[in-house]
Amino acid sequence: MTISNRLGLHARPAARFARMASGFRSRVWLVRDGEAVDGKSILEVLTLACPKGTRLIIRASGPDAQLAVDTLCQLVTDSFGELD
């Protein structure tokens, strides 16, 4: 996935990502350059410091892992609902 919104993965989209990830029973990780963080933690997501153009991988493990990955990928693809 590539971050496409103008301001990157700042606080508001990070909060949205973490909140959405928390809705799944599976564990969710967000990975940048080999560094994986808990996708359900806004603070950990923010530590990745992802400006526009950053490439990320979303991983999940658990009973609804595929749905979690698909849903979160769609959120990133939709620029976290932000209009540029």
Helix (H, G, I), strand (E, B) or coil at 10: coil
* Dihedral, 42, 45, 47, 52 alpha carbons, nearest 10: -120
Question: What residues pair up with 38 in beta bridges, in sequence order?
Answer: 29
Choice among 10, 12, 27, 59 that is catalytic: 10
In this structure, what token pair is assigned to residue 45? Answer: 């997501």
Which residue shows structure tokens 């153009």? 53
> Is 75 a residue of the active site?
no
- List active site positions: 10
